[in-house]
A and B are shown apart, each in its own frame.
Chain A
Amino acid sequence: MNTNRNDNFAECAAIQAQLAEHTENTLSGRQVWDVEKHLARCADCAQISREMQVTISLLQNAERHDTGDDFMAKLHARIDTLEPETVRAPSLGTVLRDGLAALGGILRSPRIPALSLGVAATAVVAFLIVPRSVPNTPQTLTTTANPVTVTHIAAEPLRRNAALAANNPFDDPVAATLEANADPAESEPSIQ
């Protein structure tokens, strides 16, 4: 007798655990069959099932609350009072992320050949200008064979042109002028 009652109690507990899912139709076909078979012969569980359905329905259809009419105005007023730094100051991580994103955008840009050319031209100009800005400091181009003083490099093309003009088979009159203007002292690069 007691065993039979305990079995019924256990079965009722198992069925009641599935009542919510039964209401939501999320049980398998076999589970639905078991639940409905039990409900057909157990008045207590059938009553609980009906109450559970009503409870869920009440929750789902409960009146919805909404904010007051001035909610947006109040919110914007609060946002406006926030410190600008609080809102706008980006963190280091954000700065890095944005920087990488911008770099990625530039690299994907179709204008990259023009940009590259511009950067390269700037680099060449900078390279040529920087040594001339320090004329009093002789710098040495270190090669393995002959270290050559930089100040003599500018005289080299003039000397070479003069030599070429002097050997001109058409006796170019410019050759003599060029040869005369070429400094004999600088006709050979100084070897250090």
Chain B
Amino acid sequence: MFAAGNVMTTDFALVQRAQANDRAAFNEIVLKYKGKVYNFISRMVASALDAEDLTQETFIRAYLSIRSFQSRASLNTWLFRIATNLCIDYSRKQKTHIQPSSLSQQNESDDGETEREIPDRAFDPQRLLINRELGKMVESALQGLPEKLRTVVLLYDMEGLSYEEIAAIVNCPLGTVKSRLFNARIALREKLSPYLKGIEAL
């Protein structure tokens, strides 16, 4: 509790300085939160390049509207709200501009071979069997989740936000957040189930 209070105080001081056009204070805010924001966005969008662009856009928007930031909300929540809205916009644009073949959708694997991402982002057990890497299984399972469920499970389980904070970010009731989290975990467990039996012993 004391640590959380300290974080709030530090953030409050940083925001006040940034609101007075203190570029160094804004820099501190970026350094403090860019990892969390990027970690979230990179799992909301498939492309690493787009994820970095959206993270930059999040902080550009924060920079432009820092003076309107009300200290009633936490800086963390505010930044994640901006990031979430950007991801929703991005997702809408992707749906309206489907690009079946794009260089930006290609990833280079460790052995130098270029492999194409799954276009529909659906969970693909065959791909998981080939990779046999725990992280990639989780990533793929996450990518297969509907956007609303993915947002909640990422914010709760990966970023450690509270139900209340997530409700403020996604602008929906607390019960809806809990319900989405439950459904997301059930869906993830079902997708990972064939591979979890071997992991349980770990």
Contacts and interface: CB of A to CB of B under 8 A. Distances in A.
Interface of A: prevailing SS: helix
Contacts of B153: 59
Contacts of A105: none
A63 B196 CA distance: 18
Interface stretch (A50-58, A138-146, A172-180): A50-58
A56 B157 contact: yes
Interface residues of B, number: 39
Contact of A62 (B67, B138, B185, B200): B138
Contacts, number: 86
Contact of B56 (A51, A58, A66, A75): A75
Interface string B169-183: 000000000000110
B135 A67 contact: no
A87 interface: yes
A75 B54 CA distance: 11
A56 B185 contact: yes
Interface string B41-66: 01100001001100110011001100
Given A67-B34, A71-B34, A58 B158 contact: no
A77 to B, nearest CB: 10
Contact of A65 (B42, B56, B185, B188): B42
A76 to B, nearest CB: 8
A56 B138 CA distance: 10
Given A71-B52, A86-B64, A54 B199 contact: yes
Nearest to B197: A51
A79 B21 CA distance: 13
Interface of B: 21, 27, 30-31, 34-35, 38-39, 42-43, 48, 51-52, 55-56, 59-60, 63-64, 67, 134-135, 138-139, 153, 157-158, 181-182, 185-186, 188-189, 192-193, 196-197, 199-200
Interface of A: 16-17, 20, 48, 50-52, 54-56, 58-60, 62-68, 71-72, 74-75, 78-79, 82, 86-88, 90, 94
